[in-house]
């Protein structure tokens, strides 16, 4: 009887031992390997791009979280595989820490990288490049840009009158002529102005001008270095469309077909990262502005190669304007050259 009682008392212990050493019918859960967070950084002219390169050893899907330790930076997002941010206007270079956290639902991993934000120069802000090695600009010291918009019935095709008025304003301080008055003087019934109409208008107001053949854009650069400006007549179809709305480079309006003749003023140039850009006053503004409110046609930059191509195709000459009659160059006889029109 006593032995039976002892056996009964040991029963829970026996059962516990059996459960401990019995083969399990349940599968062991596989161990989770944590993700590995990583990313790359691409510096553009006025912004940085961040690209996710994280991975999970188990192939688990990952969620992401980007962060930057600076209240001067606004990320385009926090959870996308690619984000970007604009470089703020700085007085000196700024080091910032970028952080990416990758999460597979069970574990997370964080990585950090430090980058240096540059001080933005004009070339970066304008979308031209990073470093300017040469430049010249024949500004007047007073306002002389003219937008052909709101210049009367023929505003859409008044680039010729507007460019002629700009040239006169630049050459003659205090000149008060308007685009509407120029149109009323020449072809008041409408129609595109031709290059000879530009010359006639300048001569009427005794603006020193002469016409040169454009064998290359170096001719244009030499005239700018001599203190002159130029009027070109181009097919704007061959000028590329702008990449970013805030940049000051390339065509900012639609020119969807060949034969898009157009007059612009060229008054300066910059060589940026080895590429030559010409600085222009383009009258086809129609009140379009940059984020800071400045007219888009004012101080617009066009690429040397594209100006060369578009002038070769449309009118391979330049009307040179000078403030100094003594700088009157030996130009071509306008009567003996073909003329072309612009809208």
pLDDT digits (tens, 9 = 90+) for 41-90: 999 999 999 999 999 999 999 999 999 999 999 999 999 999 999 999 99
Class of residue 39 by CB neighbours under 10 A (exposed 0-12, middle 13-18, buried 19+): buried
pLDDT tens-place string over residues 93-146: 999 999 999 999 999 999 999 999 999 999 999 999 999 999 999 999 999 999
Hey, where are the domains in the chain? 39-120, 130-342
Lowest-confidence region among 15-29, 156-170, 249-263: 15-29
Confidence at residue 5, expressed as pLDDT on a 0 to 100 scale: 41
Which pTM was predicted?
0.87
pLDDT tens-digit series, residues 137-196: 999 999 999 999 999 999 999 999 999 999 999 999 999 999 999 999 999 999 999 999
| Beta strands 94-103; 209-213: pairing state | unpaired
Segment 250-254 shows an average pLDDT of: 97
SS3 119: coil
CATH number of 130-342: 3.90.70.10
Element housing 51 (H / E): strand 47-52
Our measurement of the distance from residue 161's CA atom to the centroid of its chain's CA atoms, rounded to an integer in Å, reads 29
Name the CATH topology of 39-120: Immunoglobulin-like (2.60.40)
Q: How far is CA 341 from CA 29, 80, 152, 198, in A?
A: 79, 50, 19, 10
Share of the chain above pLDDT 70, in %: 91
- Cα atoms in the Cβ-side hemisphere of radius 13 Å centred on 184: 7
Residue with tokens 């930057």: 68
- The residues with which 66 forms a beta bridge, in sequence order, are 100
Can 39-120 and 130-342 be said to share one CATH topology? no
Question: 297-329: per-residue pLDDT in tens?
Answer: 999 999 999 999 999 999 999 999 999 887 776
């Amino acid at each position: 009887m006593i032995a039976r009682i002892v056996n009964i008392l040991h029963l829970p212990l026996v059962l516990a031992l059996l459960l401990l050493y019995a083969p399990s019918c349940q599968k062991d859960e596989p161990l989770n390997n944590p993700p590995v967070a990583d990313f790359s950084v691409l510096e553009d002219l006025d912004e940085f791009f961040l690209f996710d390169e994280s991975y999970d050893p188990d192939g688990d899907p990952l969620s992401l979280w980007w962060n930057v330790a600076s209240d001067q930076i606004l990320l385009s997002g926090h959870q996308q595989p690619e984000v970007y941010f604009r470089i703020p206007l700085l007085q000196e270079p700024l080091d910032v820490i970028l952080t990416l956290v990758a999460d597979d639902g069970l574990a997370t991993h964080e990585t950090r990288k430090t980058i240096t934000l540059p001080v933005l120069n004009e070339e970066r802000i304008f979308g031209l490049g990073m470093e300017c090695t040469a430049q010249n600009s024949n500004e007047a010291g007073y306002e002389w840009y003219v937008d052909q918009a709101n210049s009367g019935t023929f505003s859409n095709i008044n680039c010729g009158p507007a460019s002629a008025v700009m040239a006169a304003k630049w050459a003659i301080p205090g000149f008060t002529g308007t685009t509407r008055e120029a149109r009323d003087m020449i072809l008041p019934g409408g129609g595109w102005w031709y290059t000879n109409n530009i010359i006639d208008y300048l001569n009427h107001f005794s603006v020193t001008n002469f016409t040169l053949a454009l064998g290359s854009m170096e001719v244009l650069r030499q005239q700018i270095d001599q203190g002159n400006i130029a009027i070109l007549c181009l097919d704007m179809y061959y000028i590329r469309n702008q990449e970013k709305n805030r940049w000051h480079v390339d065509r900012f309006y639609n020119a969807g077909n060949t034969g898009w003749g157009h007059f612009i003023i060229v008054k300066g140039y910059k060589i940026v990262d080895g590429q030559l850009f010409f600085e222009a006053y383009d009258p086809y503004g129609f009140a379009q502005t940059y984020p800071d409110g400045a007219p888009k046609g004012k101080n617009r930059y066009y690429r040397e190669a594209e100006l060369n191509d578009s002038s070769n195709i449309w009118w391979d000459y330049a009307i040179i304007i000078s403030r100094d009659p003594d700088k009157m160059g030996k130009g071509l006889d306008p009567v003996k050259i073909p003329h072309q029109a612009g809208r």
